[in-house]
Structure 1
Amino acid sequence: MTTPRTMKVLHLSSSLKHDESERGIYAITHALMRAGHESIVIGAADEDSELVTRLLRDDTLYYRLSMPKKSWWALRNVFKLRNLIQEHRPDIVHVHSRTPAWVLHWALRLIPKDEHPKVVATMYGFYPLNSYSRALFYADVIITASISIDKYLKDKLEHKQDELDIAKLPFDIVCIKRGVDVRTFPYRHNSSVYWLHSVFAEYPELEHKKWLFFPTPIGTEYGQEWLVDILGNLQDKFPDIHAIIAEDLETNHTDQDVAHEEFIQRIHALGLDSRVTFIGRRPPDMKEWLSSANIVLALANRPESIGMTAQQAIHLGTPVIGWAKGAFADILATTYPQGLVKEETAIALCKAVKSHLQNRLRPAMTHEYTIEQMTAETLSVYQSLMPACQLVEKDRHDNLVCVRIDDE
């Protein structure tokens, strides 16, 4: 029999301005507060930002510290972080990025070891295991955010732990897959007539078409060139086929401009530009686009680490077609194997798209990759690091004593 104890968890992030769906910081802190625990978040977002407002509404404490990624200027916050840790004395610090991990490492060196909190670190990508990533391995537990990241990390550690001098560091590795809030992305969600009318008013070319939704921007790693093969090969069989890309038509002088311009020139040269619509990067009504599409395409050339839009589409009941690598392989193998394309060729891809358009296949409802599962497993990791109070038999007369068990 274990006596429950309240936890205080401090989350440390380089930014709360993006990737929140992957990091799930709000979902975790909300679950902590609902369970009666305490939560503190440190990030770079302004206090009037939407996410910070939600955190404060839950009575989560928020502190703004600028810790930009891959910047040594972040180390200016070592003493501030040390002071916050000593002021609040969290039981656990959960670090969500590599730069804050280094700030935490140096802050803890200024605190007596017997006052150190337990440390949890999450890997959200296929990070190179170099000196910059080394700070993550000072954690007690490393959470990998997908099956692919978990396999990648374990494979790399077999060859690099001596090189990084981390062979003797006592961390555990736990895979906790990112998840989707099924209340926000309910199964078989239907977009409203009002939304559809507004879309057709803005994009009249989309009416009465079969939508192939490409939810990522144009770039060398995202695989937009495969759209040319799909549209070129299937336009005669499906004259109403149309690709929708979550990217701005105008370029913004970024490092993706070359790939963007090449793609525009190619579809124009092949006469396919009338079959492609750009709706802007990260549209606020992403749920509506995902649920209204006939097919969502997951064609990244590099293995995706988490594949959040694929998860969201599956939970909405929209078929996803993607390569059998990275997170897309993890997600589809479990939830919708009909969407896996194992051979990375235009023929195999077009065959899969053609089959889906002809047969109107849909994924079944799934209980995998949910935010409830993710938060429950994360809180379970926290609880495993907490000192427990167990009742044990002292002698034959059944006198009981409280014995503290420390996870040192």
Structure 2
Amino acid sequence: MKVLHLSSSLKHDESERGIYPITHALMKAGHESIVIGAADPSDELVLRFLRDGTQYYQLAMPKKSWLSLRHVFKLRQIIAHQKPDIVHVHSRTPAWVLHWALRAMPTEDRPKIVAMFYGFYPLNSYTKVLFDADVIITASHSIDTHLKTKLAAKKQELGVDRCDFDIVEVRRGVDVRKYPYRHHSSVHWLHSVFAQHPELEHKKWLIFPTPIGHEYGHEWLIDVLGNLQDDYDNIHAIIMDDDFTNLSSQDVSHEEFVQRLNALNLRHRVTFIGRRPTDTKEWLASANVVLCLANRPESIGMTALQAIHLGTPVIGWATGASGDILTNLYPQGLIKQKKAIDLCKSVRYHLTNPLRPAMTHEYVVEQMIAETLAVYQSLMPNCKLVYKDKHDHLVCIKAEND
């Protein structure tokens, strides 16, 4: 079996897309893997692909950019040369490039297509291209429900009244070897943190694992800090965003947020540690609470998953993927209504009564790999997939319809 992964980017959200674990499993099973993305060949992830034996092509396909269509002929050449059995497309823009690349190909020469549905996409003419696939994989239960509900209402409008594709839910998973349960940060790491951020010592850490932005719900931090500071003098919010205070060009949302902090005398209770820190695991493991407060439903909730697998309590809204995750793995952190009083009550309870999520074997990367390979198997029933898992146990993949 030969599978080609088609992505607009490999540098963004790789842990959520999980392309590498899938290609790695394919190569270990003795099959062939090809990846097309925008990352430079010297990128660390690309080097991992190459070490495994995966072939890599660099084609920049910026999201929602018609310039991406300039790669139609090149993609057609790659497919004609490589003859993949399956093309797994991970974004809508590459899906459109693939659509036009395959139009000139005879039907019998076209590969099977697997399309990913990663977000709460509107079902419009731009998204319609994903319905050219043989199988659509939804990345969470919330997305699966969203797609099926919207599709039922818009089939005729979109011209997909004949649903000859399957929809399969494959939840994203965490590599528990990288995020082991009850992981403790080293004394050396803590000392380096306190040296850089002395204001964090002897504090209760509330991790806000996303950048400042209205869609991420940063304004809820104001309610939490303002309402709880009298009872918890050592409460402190840690935000995974850059501090633009000393830069000339500031983000509007960031500037408004800092102004409100200053007006309410809360600025000393907030520390910015930068976006996507390389030591994210250490921060999540050392936190008292991780807050997932996005105003728009999250499609995957990877940070919440990572924190729960580490054994750190997570508090979040009962919407989107975070709501799914908390309902299944840590209902104590679920807030059913988006109200400041309920949020503060939950944070107060967790700071007073330290809790830890139970160890879980759900939402793990091995499960994601097995379910994805099962989709491939269903499209190629004559090619049996057998690979070794992390324990070097042989796993035989059965098709969805076996």
Tell me the TM-score normalised to structure 2 length: 0.93
Distance 2:298 2:21 in 1: 22
Alignment of 1:194-213 (within 5 A): 194-213=188-207
How far is 1:343 from its partner?
1.9
Residue deviations 1:25-46 (CA, integer Å, cap 9, x gap): 1111011111111100011111
How far is 1:83 from its partner?
1.1
Larger radius of gyration: 1
Pick one of 314, 323, 332 that aligns with 1:320: 314
Pick one of 227, 233, 248 that aligns with 2:242: 248
Aligned to 2:388: none
Matched, 1:79 2:56: no
Matched, 1:127 2:118: no
SS in 1 for 2:26: helix
Pick one of 77, 91, 98 that aligns with 1:97: 91
Pick one of 366, 376, 399 that aligns with 1:372: 366
Identical-residue share of aligned pairs (%): 72
Check the 8 A contact 2:7/2:91 in 1, yes or no.
yes
Amino acid of the structure 1 residue aligned with 2:355? L
Residue deviations 1:231-269 (CA, integer Å, cap 9, x gap): 111111111110000111116788x82221111011111
Aligned to 1:402: none
Distance 2:248 2:129 in 1: 34
How far is 1:387 from its partner?
3.9
Check the 8 A contact 1:121/1:142 in 2, yes or no.
yes
Pick one of 143, 149, 157 that aligns with 1:155: 149
Matched, 1:16 2:10: yes
Aligned alpha-carbon RMSD (Å): 1.5
Pick one of 214, 224, 229 that aligns with 1:220: 214
Pick one of 231, 252, 265 that aligns with 1:258: 252
Check the 8 A contact 2:377/2:383 in 1, yes or no.
no
Amino acid of the structure 2 residue aligned with 1:381? V
SS in 1 for 2:62: coil
Amino acid of the structure 2 residue aligned with 1:264? V
Distance 2:229 2:176 in 1: 35
Check the 8 A contact 1:138/1:169 in 2, yes or no.
no
- Alpha-carbon spacing, 1:213–1:389, altered in 2? closer, same or farther (3 Å): closer
Aligned to 1:110: 104
Distance 1:378 1:124 in 2: 14
SS in 1 for 2:214: coil
Distance 2:124 2:273 in 1: 38
Check the 8 A contact 2:244/2:254 in 1, yes or no.
no
Distance 1:277 1:189 in 2: 23
Distance 2:125 2:21 in 1: 31
Matched, 1:69 2:85: no
Aligned to 1:363: 357
Q: Unaligned 5+ residue runs, structure 1? A: 1-6, 391-406
How far is 1:128 from its partner?
1.2
Aligned to 1:404: none
Aligned to 1:49: 43
Check the 8 A contact 2:10/2:39 in 1, yes or no.
yes
How far is 1:124 from its partner?
0.7
- Alpha-carbon spacing, 1:389–1:276, altered in 2? closer, same or farther (3 Å): closer
Distance 1:78 1:223 in 2: 39
Give the number of aligned pairs. 384
Amino acid of the structure 2 residue aligned with 1:55? F
Amino acid of the structure 1 residue aligned with 2:235? I
Distance 1:276 1:65 in 2: 40
Amino acid of the structure 2 residue aligned with 1:280? G
Matched, 1:306 2:308: no
Alignment of 1:135-174 (within 5 A): 135-174=129-168
List 4+ stretches of structure 1 deviating above 4 A: 251-254
Check the 8 A contact 1:14/1:99 in 2, yes or no.
yes
Pick one of 375, 380, 392 that aligns with 1:381: 375
Distance 2:151 2:5 in 1: 26
Distance 2:335 2:145 in 1: 21
Distance 1:253 1:384 in 2: 55
Aligned to 1:268: 262
Check the 8 A contact 1:8/1:39 in 2, yes or no.
yes
Residue deviations 1:41-78 (CA, integer Å, cap 9, x gap): 01111100011000001000001111111111111111
Distance 2:96 2:344 in 1: 46
Distance 2:291 2:80 in 1: 48
Amino acid of the structure 1 residue aligned with 2:28? R
Matched, 1:231 2:225: yes
Distance 1:371 1:340 in 2: 24
Q: Unaligned 5+ residue runs, structure 2? A: 385-400
Pick one of 336, 340, 343 that aligns with 2:337: 343
Distance 1:389 1:199 in 2: 51
Matched, 1:278 2:272: yes
Aligned to 1:30: 24
Distance 2:101 2:193 in 1: 51
How far is 1:388 from its partner?
2.3
How far is 1:216 from its partner?
0.4
SS in 2 for 1:128: coil
Amino acid of the structure 1 residue aligned with 2:190? L
Aligned to 2:282: 288
Check the 8 A contact 2:244/2:251 in 1, yes or no.
no
Distance 1:21 1:44 in 2: 16
Aligned to 1:394: none
SS in 2 for 1:137: helix
